[in-house]
Amino acid sequence: MEIKSFTLKDVELDERTFTGYAAGYGNEDSDGDIIMRGAFAESIANDFPRKKIKILWQHNSSEPIGLPLEMSEDEKGLYVKGKISKTERGDEAMELLRDGVIDSMSVGFMIPKDGYEYNDDGKRMITKGRLMEFSLVTFPANEQAVVQSVKEVSEREIERVLREAGCSRTIAKSIVANGVKGLRDAEREAKELMDLINELKGLV
């Protein structure tokens, strides 16, 4: 399987998604190859809708971390939007993306016998490849493969939505801090407080 890498940039934060170019077209990568526009058109049309293209961690097939939500080709390269799954490795990947430690992507694909040709300079021009996966990687082979944005819901945004939905500030903060368990704890505390108030009323 062929592996080609690209660098990410412009990280911002919402919803465990990221966008960028998984492959760059028309430029020579560090392996001396040039991926041509349209090389992954068949994979986008046939494999992407069937969820056959995975997002991996560092090209490790035993560590899938998500699925692409969008894939398209333009003059620059293979543009993708991916969603990172809520797993231990996925959480690590999101943290490294947010901090800018990981800022690159890389594609893994198979080249058929008729999927390449050589130009006058002897460089291999890849015209067709079956895309198997793209990965978040530490070091890219192609400087055009970049992560442009990373989105993750902030605690403040979650609290705002909960408040707009009718939750009290206390319950909203508890959910943000502790998840659903926080809501249950807050509800239990509220019930205990109401029971105490009713008891006091009965003594008056």
- The catalytic residues are 59, 106, 133
CA gap 142, 4 in Å, rounded: 7
The residue type at 165:
A
Per DSSP bridges, beta strands 33-35 and 124-126 are parallel
Token digits of residue 169: 């500030």
Cβ-based neighbour number of residue 9 at 10 Å? 13
Which class for 34: exposed (0-12), middle (13-18), buried (19 or more C-beta within 10 A)?
Answer: buried
CA gap 175, 179 in Å, rounded: 4
Which residue(s) pair with 125 in the sheet? Answer: 34, 117
Per DSSP bridges, beta strands 116-118 and 77-84 are unpaired
Tell me how long the chain is: 204
